[in-house]
C-alpha cells in the first residue's frame, strides 16, 4: 500500500488524500488512523521468503525408522525426529532408479523421457542448456545458493585430470550454485586426492567395481567426507546472511563403499542382522525383461553369499545409514541453534533405493519397491501439523514445484511434477496421479496407493497388490479381474521418449569461453 501511494504520487496521478480535510477535524483524524492501521497491518503481514535446507542422501532405501522398511531395529533417530516435525511421505518414489537420471529429474523437474538423461554417463548441461535447475531459479530470484557434497551427479567431475581444475573453477555455472563449495569430487570416499584404504578391499571380496567394498576406517570421524559436507552446512548456518538462502547438503552414504567409523558397526551386532527373505521361486512369474534386470548382479550376490559375507554386508549398509543419520542430526542441531530455525523449509530425500538380495538382486536399477521407494520428508514452518504421514503416491519430481510454491517464486513452465502443498496442509488429500519411474531401457513402473504396475519395453507386464503382497512376490498381471487396474495405470506410460543425451566424452570443452563443442557434429553449446 505504501509503495503504491509513493509511486503514484510521484507520477502526479494522486494528490494528498487528506488535503480535503482539516487535520484537526474528527473525520480527517479517523482517515489518518485508518490509513496508519492499514499501513501497519500490511507491514506486519509481510514476511521474508523462507530459507531452504536441502538434504540429499545417496542410495538410501526405506530402511529407516519412520518408514519401517527394515524389519529389525535400525538407528535413525535424526531422520525420525525430522519426520516428527513435518510431513513424511511414505509412498515416495524416484523418477529413475539410478543416480544421474534421478538427480537430474529432481533438479530440473523433468522425467528422463522429457530430458533425455537416462544413465550415469549422460550429461544434461550441453544437451539441454536452456533448462533452469532448482538452484538456478532460486539464485535468479534473490537467493544465495550454496552446496556441499553430492547434489547433482558427478558427471562433470569425472573429466580427465588435465581438465578437472578448469571444471572445478566453473562448476557453479553448471549447477546454479552461487560460489565454489566443497563439491563431490573432493569428498568422495577415495579419489586420486584420497587414496583407497590399505589393504584393499577391506571386505576381502573383489566384486564388480572398486566401489563395492566395506569396512571400518580408523581416521577421526570429522575427516570423513560426509562429516565435512555436513560441517560446511553447519558453518554456513552459523553465519549471518542478508538474503534468503538455499543450502544444499549431499550425504554420500549409504552409497558404496560402506566405510564408516567402528562405533557405528558396534551398534549392529552381527547376530542381530536380519536378511531379506528371498523365495526360491521369486523370479518364476517375472517376464524375461524383468529377469534380466534382476540377474544383472546375481553373480556378485552369489559371491557375497558363498563367502559368508551377506550378513556382514547388510551390517555395513545399516551402519552407513546411521552414520548418514548422524550427519543429518548435526545439520538439524545447527539449524535449531541458528536464527533461521523458524523460517527455514527442510527437504530431505534419497535418490533411489537399493537391493540387498530381494529378487536375487544386489544393486539398484530395478523397478521394484526396493529399488524405487525412498525416504522423503518436508518440514515447512507454519504449514500443516507436526508428525504428519502421507500415504499418497508422490514422486521426487514434485520437489521442484513444491519449493517454488512454498517460497513464493514465479512458477516454472513445463515441469513434470506437481506441488505437494495440498498434502502438506492435509496429508490425506488424494492425488489424481501415481508415481512414475523410468529405466534406461525404457521400461516403466507406475505406483499408486495400492498397486505397482510394470510395463517393459517389449510389452510384457507385472502387477503387484501391495495390500495383500507388500513384498511383491506374486505377479498378478495375468489376472483378468485386474485388467481395469492395469488399463488405468498404463495410461501413464509415456508414448514418446526424448533423444538420449551424450556423455561428456562426446564434447570438447573450452574453459575460457565456457562452451562445449560436440566432437561428431561440431555443434557449439555455450554455458550460461
Burial of residue 10 (number of CB atoms within 10 Å: 0-12, 13-18, 19+): exposed
Grouping H, G, I as helix, E, B as strand and the rest as coil, residue 358 is helix
**Residues 6 or more apart from 472 whose CB is under 8 A from it?**
359, 368, 369, 452, 464, 466
Q: Is 407 a catalytic residue?
A: no
Region of 68 on the Ramachandran plot (φ > 0 left; ψ -120 to 50 alpha; else beta): left
Residue ranges of alpha helices (H) inside 17-160 are: 26-45, 77-84, 99-108, 112-115, 124-127, 134-140
Element (H, E) at 10: helix 2-10
367 within 8 A of 439, measured Cβ to Cβ: yes
Q: Comparing C-alpha atoms, which of 271, 251, 256 is closest to residue 215?
A: 256
Q: Residues 99, 100, 249, 407: which is the catalytic one?
A: 99
CA quadruple 264, 266, 268, 273: dihedral sign: positive
Q: Residues 93, 127, 137, 153: which is the catalytic one?
A: 153
- Three cell numbers at 131? 533448462
**Residues 6 or more apart from 129 whose CB is under 8 A from it?**
525, 526, 527, 528
- Cα 246 to Cα 262: distance, rounded to the nearest angstrom: 34
373 within 8 A of 92, measured Cβ to Cβ: yes
**How many helices (H) does the chain have, and how many strands (E)?**
18, 18
Measured in degrees and rounded to the nearest 5, phi and psi for residue 512 equal -75, -40
Partner residues linked to 348 by β-bridges: 55, 377
- Cα 273 to Cα 101: distance, rounded to the nearest angstrom: 32
Q: Is 316 a catalytic residue?
A: no
Would you please indicate which residues are annotated as catalytic (active-site) residues?
A: 99, 153
Amino acid at each position: 500500500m505504501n509503495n503504491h501511494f509513493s509511486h503514484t504520487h510521484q507520477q502526479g496521478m494522486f494528490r494528498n488524500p487528506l488535503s480535503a480535510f482539516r487535520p484537526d477535524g474528527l473525520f480527517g483524524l479517523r482517515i489518518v488512523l485508518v490509513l496508519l492501521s492499514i499501513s501497519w497491518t500490511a507491514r506486519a503481514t509481510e514476511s521474508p521468503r523462507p530459507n531452504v535446507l536441502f538434504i540429499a542422501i545417496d542410495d538410501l532405501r526405506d530402511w529407516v525408522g519412520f518408514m519401517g522398511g527394515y524389519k529389525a531395529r535400525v538407528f535413525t533417530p535424526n531422520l525420525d525426529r525430522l519426520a516428527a516435525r513435518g510431513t513424511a511421505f511414505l509412498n515416495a518414489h524416484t523418477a529413475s532408479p539410478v543416480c544421474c537420471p534421478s538427480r537430474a529429474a529432481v533438479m530440473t523437474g523433468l522425467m528422463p523421457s522429457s530430458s533425455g538423461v537416462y544413465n550415469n554417463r549422460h550429461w544434461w548441461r550441453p544437451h539441454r542448456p536452456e533448462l533452469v535447475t532448482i538452484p538456478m531459479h532460486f539464485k535468479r530470484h534473490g537467493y544465495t545458493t550454496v552446496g556441499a557434497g553430492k547434489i547433482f551427479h558427478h558427471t562433470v567431475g569425472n573429466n580427465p585430470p588435465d581438465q578437472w581444475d578448469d571444471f572445478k573453477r566453473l562448476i557453479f555455472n553448471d549447477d546454479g550454485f552461487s560460489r565454489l563449495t566443497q563439491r563431490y569430487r573432493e569428498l568422495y570416499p577415495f579419489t586420486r586426492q584420497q587414496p583407497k584404504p590399505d589393504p584393499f578391499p577391506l571386505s576381502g571380496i573383489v566384486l564388480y567395481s572398486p566401489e563395492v567394498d566395506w569396512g571400518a576406517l580408523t581416521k577421526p570421524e570429522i575427516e570423513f567426507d560426509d562429516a565435512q559436507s555436513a560441517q560446511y552446512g553447519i558453518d554456513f548456518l552459523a553465519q549471518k546472511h542478508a538474503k534468503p538462502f538455499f543450502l544444499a547438503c549431499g550425504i554420500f552414504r549409504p552409497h558404496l563403499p560402506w566405510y564408516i567409523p567402528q562405533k557405528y558397526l558396534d551398534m549392529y551386532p552381527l547376530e542381530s542382522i536380519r536378511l531379506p527373505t528371498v523365495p526360491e521361486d521369486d523370479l518364476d512369474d517375472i517376464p524375461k525383461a524383468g529377469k534380466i534386470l534382476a540377474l544383472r548382479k546375481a553373480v556378485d550376490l552369489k559371491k557375497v553369499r558363498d563367502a559368508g559375507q551377506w550378513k556382514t554386508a547388510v551390517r555395513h549398509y545399516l551402519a552407513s545409514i546411521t552414520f548418514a543419520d548422524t550427519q543429518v542430526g548435526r545439520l538439524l542441531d545447527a539449524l535449531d541453534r541458528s536464527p533461521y530455525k523458524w523460517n527455514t523449509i527442510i527437504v530431505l530425500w534419497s535418490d533411489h533405493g537399493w537391493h540387498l538380495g530381494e529378487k536375487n538382486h544386489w544393486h539398484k536399477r530395478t523397478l521394484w519397491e526396493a529399488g524405487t521407494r525412498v525416504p522423503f520428508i518436508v518440514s515447512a514452518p507454519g504449514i500443516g501439523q507436526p508428525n504428519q504421514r502421507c500415504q499418497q503416491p508422490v514422486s521426487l519430481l514434485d520437489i521442484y514445484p513444491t519449493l517454488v510454491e512454498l517460497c513464493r517464486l514465479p512458477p516454472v513452465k513445463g515441469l513434470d511434477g506437481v506441488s505437494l502443498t495440498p498434502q502438506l496442509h492435509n496429508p490425506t488429500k488424494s492425488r489424481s496421479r501415481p508415481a512414475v519411474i523410468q529405466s534406461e531401457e525404457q521400461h516403466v513402473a507406475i505406483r499408486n496407493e495400492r498397486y505397482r504396475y510394470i510395463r517393459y519395453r517389449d510389452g510384457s507386464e507385472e502387477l503387484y497388490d501391495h495390500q495383500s503382497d507388500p513384498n511383491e512376490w506374486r505377479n498378478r498381471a495375468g489376472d483378468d479381474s485386474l485388467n481395469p487396474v492395469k488399463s488405468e495405470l498404463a495410461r501413464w506410460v509415456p508414448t514418446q521418449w526424448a533423444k538420449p543425451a551424450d556423455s561428456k566424452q562426446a564434447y570438447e570443452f573450452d574453459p575460457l569461453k565456457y562452451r562445449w563443442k560436440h566432437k561428431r557434429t561440431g555443434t557449439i553449446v555455450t554455458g550460461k
